[in-house]
Amino acid sequence: MTVTKLDLLNNAEGLHNRYINAAHHIDFEVGRLLDYLEQNDMLDNTIVIFNGDHGEEFMEKGHWGHGHKEIIPEEQVHVPMVLWIPGEKPRQIDRRTSYIQIPQTLLARLGVTTSPEKYSSAGALFSPLPYLTMANYHYLSIFDDQFKLTFPFTSADYFYYTLYDDNDMLIPHKNKDAVTARL
């Protein structure tokens, strides 16, 4: 049986509901783990981190899933992370962060005295970054709050790149040079 784009579009709500059900199951299992840590007096000396590797699309821009050629849409960029650090005041960070910030955030708290510049190219999760990087199976993207510069890293076409705005709309070639230089 072949599934068409129209089939996916017509069943986007059902796909989304399956995803939400899976997330509820994960929430339940996380709750069990946190209950165990708390009941065994381990939560006050345990760092806990939960996050996904990418967001998911549900036909918002005509795609389902993730990994659509050079397009790395916003729906895939937004990935929640929950981080429990004993002694830290709870807070919500609404700006973008990157996984490359996790080592610097955690290693100092674990007693590592090596200078962060030796193992990380970014600051801690609580400090903003001027740009972020992301990738899918074949493309790497460098982006800020306005643009995404995307290029292949697994093919012979290394010098071809595309540029998208913050709404995932392709930037015409004539406008690419200034933005590319900035990024």
The residue that leads in pLDDT, 29 or 13, is: 29
pTM score, two decimals?
0.68
CB 120 within 8 A of CB 103: yes
- Mean predicted confidence (pLDDT) in 89-93: 87
pLDDT tens sequence across 112-158:
999 888 888 787 887 888 888 888 777 888 888 888 888 887 765 55
pLDDT tens sequence across 21-58:
988 998 999 999 999 999 999 999 999 998 887 777 77
pLDDT recorded at residue 155: 65
DSSP codes joined into one string, 32-86 = HHHHHHHHTT-GGG--EEEE-S---EESTTS-EES-BTTB--HHHH---EEEE-T
- Give the bridge partners for 180, in sequence order: none
- Give the bridge partners for 152, in sequence order: 139
What is the token pair recorded at 149?
């510069």
pLDDT > 90: percent of the chain:
16
